[in-house]
Amino acid sequence: MRFPARGLYAITQTAHKSADIIINEVIAAIKGGAVVVQYRDKNPSDAIYLASELLKVCHRANVPLLINDDVELAAKIGADGVHIGKEDGAIAHARARLGEKAIIGVSCYNCVDQAVYAEQQGATYVAFGRFFPSTSKPLAAPAQLETLQQARLRVSVPIVAIGGILPDNGGQLLAAGADLLAVIGGLFESNPEQSARAYQVLF
């Protein structure tokens, strides 16, 4: 499945939620317009079950499912790809394990050089952030709008922005060069379908 060129990128919010709630929230987010879903779960109880169910949900809607930081889980369930940190060699390993068609996204934080390198290594997309204070990643280092502007000039793969993004602040990230907005709290803290629809105006 292809990685979308533009749109809302939903990242699961799993803490203190049952598998059923997480699945239903993802269904609602897709209904509201999310074009890609990432399964992120720092304390999974049954990752294989939940990831497999999310994959079914996503594929019914023709939306790719990516797995955060776990190449083996992605391979096991046949996910569309992974999102990984900046470790050298990680992209090559993920590509070798998941195949030529897999989507591989890479966190580049606030560093355009990392994004250029990631693209050279075969990344499908690059991600920058956090841009605004975030409850999901409160300790993440801040990123600047200028980083998106420079990245736009230096990389040709899609650019994802993340970190505290809301419908009322996401427009400036798109204007600076982001193609997709990755959202956790702003999407899943209340009524995911309605929340997703609120972001659609930006695109």
Q: For residue 27, count CB atoms less than 10 angstroms from its CB and return exposed for 0-12, middle for 13-18, buried for 19 or more.
A: middle
Domain holding 65, by residue range, is 7-200
Q: Is residue 113 part of a domain?
A: yes
Q: What is the pLDDT of residues 94-144, one digit of tens each?
A: 999 999 999 999 999 999 999 999 999 999 999 999 999 877 767 778 999
* Catalytic residue annotation: 40, 107, 137
**pLDDT for 88:** 58
**pLDDT for 136:** 72
Q: Is residue 2 part of a domain?
A: no
Average pLDDT over residues 145-150: 98
Average pLDDT over residues 10-37: 97
pTM above 0.85, yes or no: yes
CATH number at residue 144: 3.20.20.70
Inter-residue contact 149 to 176 (CB < 8 Å): yes
**pLDDT for 147:** 98
User: Residue 13 phi/psi, 5° resolution?
Assistant: -110, 110
Tell me which of 48-52, 103-107, 134-138, 149-153 is least confident: 134-138
Average pLDDT over residues 152-166: 97
Mean pLDDT of the chain: 95
When divided into structural domains, the chain yields a total of 1
**pLDDT for 38:** 98
Q: Is residue 52 part of a domain?
A: yes
Say whether pLDDT at 43 is over 80. yes
**pLDDT for 188:** 97
Say whether pLDDT at 25 is over 80. yes
Q: Is residue 1 part of a domain?
A: no
**pLDDT for 86:** 72
- 3's CB contacts (< 8 A; 6+ apart) are 36, 64, 81, 103, 105, 124, 125, 158
Say whether pLDDT at 195 is over 90. yes
